[in-house]
Amino acid sequence: MMLKYIGNRILQIAILLVIYVAIVFFLLHAMPGGIKTLLISNPKLTPQAQEAIIRAFGLDQPLWLQFVDYMKNVFTLNLGISFSYYPTPVWNIIAERLPRTVLLFTVATLIAFFVGFASGKSLAWNRGKTTEYVSTIVGIITYTIFTPLLIFVMIWFFGSFLGIFPLNQFLNPDLWIHTHLNAQVIFLYILLTMLIIGIVMLVSYLMALRFSHRIRTRRLIFYLSTIIAVVFSLFFWWISPVGIYAADILWHMVLPVMTVTIISYAGNMLVMRDSMLETIKEDFITTARAKGLPDKVVRDKHAARTAMLPVVTNFVLSLGFVVSGGVITESLFSWPGMGMTLLDSTLAKDYPLAAGALIFTGIFVLFAHLAIDIIYAFLDPRIRY
Amino acid sequence: MKAVLEVKNLKMYYDTQAGQVKAADNISFSLYEGESMGLVGESGCGKTSVSMSIMRLLPENARIISGNIFFGGKDIVKISNEDMNKVRWAGISMIFQAAMNSLNPVYRVGDQIIEAITTHEPNVTFEEARQRVASLYKLVGLDPERMDNYPHEYSGGMKQRAVIAMSLACNPKLIIADEPTTALDVIVQDTILRELEKIQKKLNMSMIYISHDIAVIAEVASKIAIMYAGKIVEMSDSITIFKRPAHPYTVGLMSSFPSIRGPKKELVTIPGEPPNLLNAPDHCRFAPRCPFATDECWKKEPSYEEIENNHFVACFHPQNLKKQVRNNVG
């Protein structure tokens, strides 16, 4: 049943992708200006050189021919060569930058989800207290604040005023100049470590579910194995000679992650608060209390578990903002990820790179939706595909 | 016989912005082992307030002003919430008004029953708890294989049975059934009530049925208390209540339900509606709707007295009724 559903969804995603890829092409070419004006405005290029470039990239051909070529290339997984980073293939640029964006936003979105979930839960549970009003107002402010303003305030406060976090960039060039290490390799190792910890958490959770029926034992298994995994990986990085470089990259990640978290936690918190307030009025909450369950069990196991379903929906919707928010956040933090690439390549009329960036963000969002749909089926037994 | 539950002069008021709402005023009754009692009255007369006071599951703006509720020798009005949690379900369990919604939609029904068992009896293993649930399922007429289903996979009647099975999970001394069958159709209603009665007799539990339907209650309860506007106005065993109702409100309640076997009669309704408990009058609360009200009824509240053996009424003119009832009902 589930497999059939996933198969169907992947088919849908494939169709959506074709449509999306086509739209991307026309959007890019509908931009005013075009590559020719850009080349003409460059005084270093002679008219002959300009002609040569235009012919080399096939930009002198009619649009529909370009479109056919483009579609053919995309679906043979050939994204072409970037204009602005000539002669680097688009693939390489994306392979370098996509993981950075995915890491930054996955970490921030997950933190925002859990912070929003936990605070929304306790706000609703402690209804009517001063903390509820204060947090709600703070939440609404951070939810509606103009993103660049928040980023500037964050950079000023933490980077300049307190001076504890780097202002921007992905790494500190002074540190890396004396080494032959490739930042990308180190970064991929960080990603791998996080993936391993994530898998350990998932496996221990499933094991705990299988082997024990007592919540306390389950929790013990889960937390213990998570802590062991984290401690082990920290130890591994500590003894390895490249640990300090990894720490440098992570250090540069703190401020952007914090900012994206602040921008997106409030939505989760407010939705969770509302949903929780609705849920605690339900009859099954009264039943849970009548059963003599401790307050915390009623709150976490019965109320929050059921109330989290709309928050998961909100989480899906917020994934869309990963793209748009990425452009602003990454540019202002000079974080060389997909958002910044998209902005730069669009401004430079670098069609292949812009198209590649858009296509990959599209694929990411579509698959994130699929993942959430699958998770939703596990969270809500009433949903069967 | 030992009293399982003893409610003494219970006063439970709601604090609202408009003032105090006297939802339960001077409620007293006691319930013996194996005895079943019906609490009958119109909507909003305070039946559920009484049951929620006994379970101590009141909303934040509700307060027990005075009175005692003795359960197993302890006054459960005064004990802490943690101690009360031990009494809940293990001592007093409940079957809720809306069984449809009293199961959590995201957990398996069996697990929700097991949860109640393992909370109160931590030494019971999961497997033992499962076996107990299976036998409870058989007792209430459900297929034990269905315990791994989710609530939305059950029909209304099955949910009701599952909720009954859940209420029996910890062998409580007392079960409060708050409108246990209101959401069901008449045929299922009857079956479930009869089964509930059978189980109650078999396990020798005490039971409080709460309903607005006096005819349904009379079949299963040995004792009936009639509530009106936050007060008990009449209480006796069900036969006495049916044969010799003394309070005009009881008479009204009985003639507003049809009898299947008796001759066809036009149903009599009680004119008017229950008073607003926010400004509870200091005269008899039923006087505005009472066909027998005299000047006395408008001046002060009648006291709650025993007019014959084990038959309590709060009315100035209980004697007036005998003849009247014979004309109306008998």
CB of B52 closer than 8 Å to CB of B4: no
In a mutagenesis test of the A interface, which of B92, B102, B124 is the best target, namely the one with the most A β-carbons within 10 Å? B102
What DSSP character marks residue A58?
T
CB of A330 closer than 8 Å to CB of A344: no
| Separation in Å, CA A184 to CA A95, A187, A245, B29 | 10, 5, 11, 78
Give the pLDDT confidence of B163-204 residue by residue, as tens digits. Answer: 999 999 999 999 999 888 777 777 888 888 888 888 898 888
What distance in Å separates the CA atoms of residue B231 and residue B24, rounded to the nearest whole number?
A: 6
pTM reported for the whole predicted model: 0.82
Q: Which helix (H) or strand (E) holds B210?
A: strand B206-211
The nearest alpha carbon in chain B to A283 belongs to: B102
| Separation in Å, CA A150 to CA A145, A258, A364, B169 | 7, 11, 26, 55
Token pair for residue A381? 């037994």
In a mutagenesis test of the B interface, which of A210, A216, A284, A305 is the best target, namely the one with the most B β-carbons within 10 Å? A284
What DSSP character marks residue B67?
E
The nearest alpha carbon in chain A to B127 belongs to: A213
Per-residue confidence (pLDDT) for residue B292, from 0 to 100:
80
Domain boundaries, chain B: 3-91+172-328
Give the pLDDT confidence of B83-132 residue by residue, as tens digits. Answer: 999 999 999 999 987 777 889 999 999 999 999 999 999 888 889 999 99
The Cβ-side half-sphere exposure at B193, using a 13 Å CA radius, reads: 27
pLDDT class of B330 with cuts at 50, 70, 90: very low
Q: Which fold has domain B3-91+172-328?
A: Rossmann fold (3.40.50)
What distance in Å separates the CA atoms of residue B221 and residue B27, rounded to the nearest whole number?
A: 19
Average the pLDDT over A86-112 and give the result: 85
Asked if B103 is an interface residue toward chain A (Cβ–Cβ < 8 A), one would say yes
What distance in Å separates the CA atoms of residue B243 and residue B181, rounded to the nearest whole number?
A: 25
The nearest alpha carbon in chain A to B107 belongs to: A381
- End-to-end Cα spacing for chain A: 6
Q: Enter the ipTM.
A: 0.86
What is the spatial order of strands in the sheet that B62-71 belongs to? Answer: B19-32, B3-16, B62-71, B74-75
3 state SS of B318: coil
Which of A259-263, A354-358, A379-383 has the lowest average pLDDT? A379-383
In a mutagenesis test of the B interface, which of A291, A298, A305, A311 is the best target, namely the one with the most B β-carbons within 10 Å? A291
The nearest alpha carbon in chain A to B51 belongs to: A290
Higher pLDDT, B44 or B113: B113
User: How far is the alpha carbon of A300 from chain B, nearest alpha carbon, in Å?
Assistant: 13
Domain boundaries, chain A: 2-75, 96-379
- The beta-carbon neighbor of B101 closest among A282, A289, A290 is A282
Give the pLDDT confidence of A18-40 residue by residue, as tens digits. Answer: 999 899 888 888 877 666 666 66
Asked if B159 is an interface residue toward chain A (Cβ–Cβ < 8 A), one would say no
Residue whose structure tokens are 């130890």: A235
- The beta-carbon neighbor of B57 closest among A290, A295, A305 is A290
What distance in Å separates the CA atoms of residue B223 and residue B229, rounded to the nearest whole number?
A: 20
3 state SS of B63: strand
Residue whose structure tokens are 């005064």: B78
Burial class for A3, CB neighbours closer than 10 Å (0-12, 13-18, 19+)? exposed
